[in-house]
């Protein structure tokens, strides 16, 4: 008997920040839902806990929806399911759980009935005044049926005194603070929006028509366009809302212009390496960080070894810049399955690693430079270093392709509370000792800046959100003021 809303324990990577969501939308395409499953599949790295699609069938004037827990390829595996998802436009969402438990109603896209008809919303990001707004809205009689901050959007749209969907949406967005990229589907419009700071990504693509009109595509990353053969048109701009109706694409910028603050961690860790964000190749940025890191923190060693998979591009860059061999000293096992049972204490004691194994032939007797993307709590780093050393490494030097993570993220990344972060608790020397390495170095803030600049000459943005490193939060943390007062930015 299957239990639709229970989960077995997953083997998680609990020591990396977690991205919350991927969003995707497509307009004017036959097989819209299937194309959306493909887009969501390409964006699977941004969230693996649950997925959902809402599509609209203009012939029947009906919305169809399907949500489920698990990978895109599993939730949408059923021909019967796909057959019900008729229509020529669709939006979809992958979720990594942050706010709220695994509640049924916490699955996205949210769908609700409004005065103007049905509307589905998928959201990537996190609002910083959601709790306050929620209290106000509940006071007013609005009914919250989930624990997601995304539900605030739909209520704000519903209660807006304005008359058109466009005005209502702008009215709603003007009331929220925080990070959001949104795709929204009504009966006659596909909408994409980014918050005024442009913290989370959203790109626009086009699938050339074989006959008739082109299809428009919205995706968290360009890899969601590539998989369906859509061409990249441009990034949705910070503060831009784009309305796709009939064959028309219309853009509005209803907010006061802000200095853009795209999340720098998208480059460092979250985005797929083949993705372009804000004009830069994620892969190139990572390699450049590796190069800078090699310049800043060189060390005499025998080889450079990435912690796979996220550490690979930076390790390639580090190896190139330091003229050291690049070696696969750690092998990753990708066949985890969905439900691996947790080992008993007896077996846990053996130090079993389900995902990583050391490549003894490479490591034995060698001085190794490990390259990883970040240190959060430090527990995973410690285990990996132990593993490498047990496999015979003579020295282990750890190089991190981000500055020390010293602040929590409130813009859509699932980070532990500040006091659980290793870099908050200890200085560099103590961290090295705890992790068990001969040397430890993080890329400097300056180095990170250089790396990004080197990645592309015509990079438009010179400012990023790096609050997790600096504590300079570009958007007020209304809901978190008491807890994190010390973190706040001017």
Place of tokens 């527990």: 379
Residue (58 or 351) nearer to a second copy, CB: 351
Q: Which of residues 352-411 bind a second copy (CB under 8 A)?
A: 352-354, 357-362
Q: Which two tokens stand for residue 286?
A: 């990572």
Q: Is 21 a catalytic residue?
A: yes
**Contacts of a second copy in 85-124 (CB under 8 A):** 103-105, 107, 110-115
Closest approach of Cβ 56 to a second copy, in Å? 15
> Could you say which residues in the range 163-222 bind a second copy, by CB under 8 A?
none
* Residue 142 sits in the site that holds a second copy (CB under 8 A): yes
**What's the rounded Cα separation, in Å, for the pair 138 and 147?**
13
**C-alpha dist (Å) from residue 183 to 91, 284, 349, 459:** 7, 28, 46, 26
Choose which of 21, 42, 97, 204 interacts with a second copy (CB under 8 A).
42
Q: Per the omega criterion (within 30 degrees of 0), is the bond before 15 cis?
A: no
Catalytic residue among 21, 55, 465, 468: 21
Q: Is 338 helix (H, G, I), strand (E, B) or coil?
A: coil
How far apart are the C-alpha atoms of 401 and 384, rounded to whole Å? 16
Show the beta-strand stretches assigned E in 401-490: 413-414, 439-442, 464-465
Choose which of 22, 23, 35, 393 interacts with a second copy (CB under 8 A).
Answer: 35
* Interface with a second copy, residue 283, by CB under 8 A: yes
- Count of residues that interact with a second copy, criterion CB under 8 A: 108
Q: Which of residues 297-356 bind a second copy (CB under 8 A)?
A: 309, 312-313, 316, 320, 325-328, 331, 333-341, 343-344, 346-347, 350-354
Closest CB 154 distance from a second copy, rounded Å: 6
Place of tokens 């919350």: 20
C-alpha distances in angstroms, 90 versus 19, 30, 212?
Answer: 23, 10, 19
Query: In whole angstroms, how close is the CB of 267 to a second copy at the nearest point?
Result: 12
**By CB under 8 A, which span of 64-72, 252-260, 467-475, 482-490 interacts with a second copy?**
64-72
Q: Which member of 86, 272, 366, 418 binds a second copy (CB under 8 A)? A: 272
Q: What are phi and psi of 235, to 5 degrees?
A: -70, 140
* 399 backbone dihedrals φ, ψ, rounded to 5°: -120, 130
**Rounded Cα gap, residues 271 and 25, in angstroms:** 18
The owner of tokens 């991205």 is 19
CB of 474 to a second copy, least distance (A): 27
Among 228, 244, 368, 396, binds a second copy (CB under 8 A): 228
Cα–Cα distance for residue pair 277/272, rounded to 1 Å: 10
Q: Does 67 bind a second copy (CB under 8 A)?
A: yes
Catalytic positions? 21
């Amino acid at each position: 008997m299957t239990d639709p809303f229970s989960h077995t324990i997953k083997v998680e990577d609990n020591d990396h920040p977690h991205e919350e969501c991927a969003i995707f939308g497509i307009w004017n395409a036959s097989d819209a839902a299937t194309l959306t499953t493909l887009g969501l599949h390409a964006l699977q790295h941004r969230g693996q806990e649950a997925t959902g699609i809402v599509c609209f069938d203009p012939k029947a004037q009906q919305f169809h929806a399907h949500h489920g827990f698990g990978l895109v390829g599993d939730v949408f595996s059923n021909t019967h399911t796909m057959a019900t998802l008729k229509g020529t436009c669709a939006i979809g969402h992958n979720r990594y759980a942050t706010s709220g438990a695994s509640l049924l109603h916490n699955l996205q896209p949210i769908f609700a009935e409004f005065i103007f008809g049905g509307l589905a919303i998928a959201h990537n990001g996190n609002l910083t005044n959601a709790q306050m707004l929620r209290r106000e809205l509940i006071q007013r009689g609005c009914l919250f049926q989930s624990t997601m901050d995304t539900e605030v959007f739909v209520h704000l749209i519903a209660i807006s005194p304005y008359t058109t969907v466009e005005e209502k949406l702008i009215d709603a967005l003007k009331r929220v603070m925080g990070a959001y990229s949104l795709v929204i589907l009504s009966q006659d419009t596909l909408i994409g929006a980014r918050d005024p700071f442009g913290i989370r990504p959203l790109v626009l693509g086009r699938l050339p028509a074989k006959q008739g009109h082109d299809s428009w595509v919205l995706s968290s990353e360009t890899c969601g366009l590539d998989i369906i053969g859509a061409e990249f048109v441009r990034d949705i701009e910070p503060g831009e809302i784009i309305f796709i109706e009939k064959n028309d694409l219309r853009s509005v910028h209803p907010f006061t212009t802000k200095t853009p603050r795209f999340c720098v961690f998208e480059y460092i860790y979250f985005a797929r390496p083949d993705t372009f964000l804000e004009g830069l190749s994620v892969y190139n940025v990572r390699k450049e960080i590796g190069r800078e890191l090699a310049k800043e923190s060189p060390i005499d060693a025998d080889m450079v070894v990435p912690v796979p998979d996220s550490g690979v591009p930076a390790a390639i860059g580090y190896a190139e810049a330091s003229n050291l061999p690049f070696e696969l000293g750690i092998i990753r096992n990708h066949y985890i399955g969905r439900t691996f049972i947790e080992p008993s204490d007896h077996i846990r004691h053996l130090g079993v690693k389900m995902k990583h194994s050391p490549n003894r032939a490479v490591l034995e007797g060698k001085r190794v430079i490990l390259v990883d993307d970040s240190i959060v709590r430090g527990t995973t780093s410690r285990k990996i270093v132990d593993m490498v050393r047990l496999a015979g490494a003579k020295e282990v030097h750890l190089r991190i392709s981000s500055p020390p993570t010293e602040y929590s993220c409130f813009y859509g990344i699932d980070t532990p509370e500040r006091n659980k972060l290793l870099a908050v608790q200890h200085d560099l020397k103590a961290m090295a000792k705890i992790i068990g390495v001969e040397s430890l170095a993080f890329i400097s803030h300056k180095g990170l800046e250089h790396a990004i600049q080197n990645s592309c000459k015509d990079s438009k943005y010179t400012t990023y959100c790096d609050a997790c490193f600096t504590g300079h939060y570009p958007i007020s943390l209304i809901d978190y003021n008491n807890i994190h007062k010390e973190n706040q930015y001017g």
